[in-house]
Amino acid sequence: MTTTAPTAIGLPVSDADPFSHEVLEDPTPFHAQLRDAGPVVYLDRYDVYAFGRHEQVHAALVDWQQFQSAAGVGLSNFRYEKPWRPPSLVLEADPPRHDAPRRVLTKVLGPRALRRLHEQWVADAEVLVDQVLAAGAEFDAVPALAEAFPLRVFPDAVGLPAQGRENLLPYGDHAFNAFGPPNDLVARGNPRVAELSAWVGAQCAREVLAPQGFGADIWAAADRGDITHEQAPLVVRSLLTAGVDTTVHGLSAVLYAVATNPDQWRRLRAQPELARVAFDEAVRWESPVQTFFRTATTDVAVAGHVVPEGKKILMFLASANRDPRRWADPDAFDLGRDPSGHVGFGMGIHQCVGQHVARLEAEALLTALARRVATIEPAGPTKRHHNNTLRAWESIPVRMLPA
């Protein structure tokens, strides 16, 4: 990062590209430079204001009045640019329009609804782990576990038909790329956008969804008048966009964390009730969702600077989650710390509405592994998957020795 001296008004300026392959491969040094440059840094390449410290990221996330989402939570400003798809009714909306769809999702994905799934998902995780271990001690944890488990349980829970489920990961990958600039990652996804969007759109219809599941629950909420029937398909679409890649990369993160921190795996084996802490700590440590943007609704004063009305703000969730001003030994994956207060699921009114689903998936998978696996070791070179928004693994070769 080339950071010029603070300008006349004292605002640090950087010409860095947070969406370059170099930064996506290893964003950690860039995040440190950004935090050290100041509480607000102007990224002149994109004409956006960047927050890398926990204090400013947290403050922006909880201030939806001054930092709006309705102009889009990617680089594209919906005031001036047509979105690539109809905006999400929750993610890309502000109160009051945001609130009814959000309330519906809160209930559909809430702890009460998940109690019915708990037993089944624990059994599914045990079957999957037994199958994988029976096939050999060495395997790639990304396809074998991190992708396989969510794809085994989540589409069924939504009530999707079996056909076409292979479209879920490519659609999500593109949607998360589309929050970034129109770079090569977006260009590579573009040829399939029409086909994937058509498939996702078709799955949101009431007749296509199973009579029981999250999808049917959303349509039932429309029947009750909690949202309109016109809104129901887009609310289902939120599940299909945000519910698969995020959990895959969250599970990859915790699997990589325990594979490279054998002391923490021993701790988890001794106390499997730490599974949820392990997952939250992995979400802090890796931040599967790295960044989101907001748009200033007015001239906003931030740490002695002014973010002008209408400008985009790039919030580095991943950087906030390793800010040494907030966390002791931030780069350590440590089951002994309290990771609450991390912003990996966001914060405030938009905080991840699916986090209980994600935590249940992680708890089921980690508990099944803790009961069966004595040691987890890296078994070859890992490979990153680059995405403009997601921190992802393509491959994590591991060796798991049974207990």
**Contact residues for ligand OW7, defined by CB under 6 A:** 88, 90-91, 175, 237-238, 241-242, 246, 289, 352
- Smallest separation (angstroms) from ligand OW7 to the CB of 70: 13
d(CA 22, CA 394): 16
Of 289 and 313, CB closest to ligand OW7 = 289
Is the Cβ of residue 108 or residue 175 nearer to ligand OW7 in the bound state? 175
Cβ at position 346, least distance to ligand OW7 in Å: 7
Q: Are the C-beta atoms of residues 305 and 11 closer than 8 Å to each other?
A: yes
Q: Residue 13: how many CB atoms within 10 A of its CB?
A: 15
Q: How far is the CB of 280 from ligand OW7 (least distance, A)?
A: 15
For 122, counting Cβ atoms within 10 Å of its Cβ (0-12 exposed, 13-18 middle, 19+ buried), the class is middle
Give the separation between CA 247 and CA 176, rounded to whole angstroms.
13
CB of 88 to ligand OW7, least distance (A): 3
Nearer residue to ligand OW7 within complex by CB, 90 or 369? 90
Of 27 and 39, which has the nearer Cβ to ligand OW7?
27
Q: Measured between alpha carbons, how far is 189 from 194 in angstroms, rounded to an integer?
A: 10
C-alpha span between 386 and 383 (Å, rounded)? 10
Nearest to ligand OW7 of 41, 73 (CB atom):
73
Distance of closest approach, residue 175 Cβ to ligand OW7, in angstroms: 5
Closer of 151 and 289 to ligand OW7 (Cβ): 289
| Cβ contacts of 54 within 8 Å, gap of 6 or more | 320, 321, 323, 325, 326, 327, 343
CB 344, min distance to ligand OW7, A = 10
Phi then psi for 3, rounded to 5 degrees? -105, 120
Q: Which helix (H) or strand (E) is 58 found in, with range?
A: helix 54-61
Beta strand 291-296 with 67-68 is: antiparallel
Query: What's the rounded Cα separation, in Å, for the pair 263 and 334?
Result: 9
Q: How far is the CB of 12 from ligand OW7 (least distance, A)?
A: 28
Angle of helix 262-270 relative to helix 245-260, nearest 10 degrees? 100
Within a 10 A sphere around the Cβ of 369, how many other Cβ atoms? 28
| Amino acid at residue number 183 | N
Give the nearest distance from C-beta 91 to ligand OW7 in angstroms. 4
Q: Read out DSSP for 8-23?
A: TT---EE---TTSHHH
CB of 392 to ligand OW7, least distance (A): 13
Instruction: Give whichever of 353 and 369 is closer to ligand OW7, judged by the CB atom.
Output: 353
Cα–Cα separations (whole angstroms), residue 328 to 38, 98, 262, 337, 340:
20, 36, 20, 9, 13
Q: Indicate the residue among 193 and 379 with the shorter CB distance to ligand OW7.
A: 193
The least CB distance from residue 237 to ligand OW7, in Å, is: 6
Write the DSSP string, 231-274.
Answer: THHHHHHHHHHHSSHHHHHHHHHHHHHHHH-HHHHHHHHH-GGG
Report the residue number, 360 or 370, with the smaller CB distance to ligand OW7: 360
Where do we find the tokens 């002994």? Answer: 336
Cα–Cα distance between 98 and 59 in angstroms, integer?
20
Nearer to ligand OW7, 213 or 354 (CB): 354
